[in-house]
Amino acid sequence: MDKIKVLVVDDESRMRKLVNDFLSRKNYEVIEAADGEEAIDIFYADKGISLIILDVMMPKMDGMEVCRQIRRDSTVPIIMLTAKGDERDELQGFDCGADEYISKPFSPKILTARVDALVRRAYQMDSAEFIEIGGIEIDKAAHIVKIDGQEIELSFKEFELLTYFVENKGLALSREKILNNVWNYDYFGDARTIDTHVKKLRKKMGEKGDYIRTIWGMGYKFEV
């Protein structure tokens, strides 16, 4: 996938850097603006911006006005950041057309999760092609798995096995069922080959390997 472009608008350089660092780790391309007027100029000059993170209290033009102006021409997802936590401010933000409203101070990880969710909803990323659960990201089209943002190397069968577990989360899966679905009925050896693959997969997943639970005498279950 091409990098998704996010415009971060805040008059505090420290805040822009914090958000930039976290989003960059998740493979977003971040563009920064230090005030409302600069944000408007950048947004209309760059047609590739997919999401805006917008501070409310800024010089020259505040975030509410920036949001209003952009909403006249665009439905791009907007997350508003503010030091104000009162209900009236939140309602005003939503009235302007904001999609999310986060009060400072906030967890950068929570902000990143909100960005991920908004991007998926807004651009209708096919859940069959991109899956995210419990810190695990699976990009089926690119055949990439990331654990907490870090790509891990999986064999073809390990990738298919993890994808099958995630797509059937919460279900008790027998070894035979896993074999039939992941190996497509063309494997005639011992079903215990599943155990070997699961052991390797768990090791590569680190702490997240605990999500694959053993059901004694039957098979496995994926639970976060």
CA distance 62 to 134: 36
Residue 20 has pLDDT above 90, yes or no: yes
Q: 94 or 176, which is more confident?
A: 176
CATH of 130-222, one of 1.10.10.10, 1.10.1740.10, 3.40.920.10, 3.60.21.10: 1.10.10.10
Non-local (6+) Cβ contacts of 116 within 8 A are: 26, 132
Please answer whether residues 53 and 42 qualify as being in contact, where contact means their C-beta atoms are separated by less than 8 angstroms.
Answer: no
Rounded to two decimals, the pTM is 0.56
In this predicted structure, what is the pLDDT of residue 186?
46
Mean pLDDT computed over 171-175: 91
Secondary structure element (H or E) that encloses residue 94, with its range = helix 87-96
In this predicted structure, what is the pLDDT of residue 206?
96
Confidence of residue 164 (pLDDT cuts 50, 70, 90): very high
Note the pLDDT tens digit of each residue in 199-220. Answer: 999 999 999 999 999 999 889 9
Report helix, strand or coil for 221.
strand
Fold (CATH) for 5-123: Rossmann fold (3.40.50)
Residue 222 has pLDDT above 90, yes or no: yes
In this predicted structure, what is the pLDDT of residue 30?
96
Secondary structure element (H or E) that encloses residue 214, with its range = strand 212-215
Which residue has tokens 């999609």?
99
Crossing angle for the helix pair 87-96 and 63-71, nearest 10 degrees?
30
In this predicted structure, what is the pLDDT of residue 87?
63
In this predicted structure, what is the pLDDT of residue 17?
95
Q: 53 or 128, which is more confident?
A: 53
Domain extent listing, the chain: 5-123, 130-222
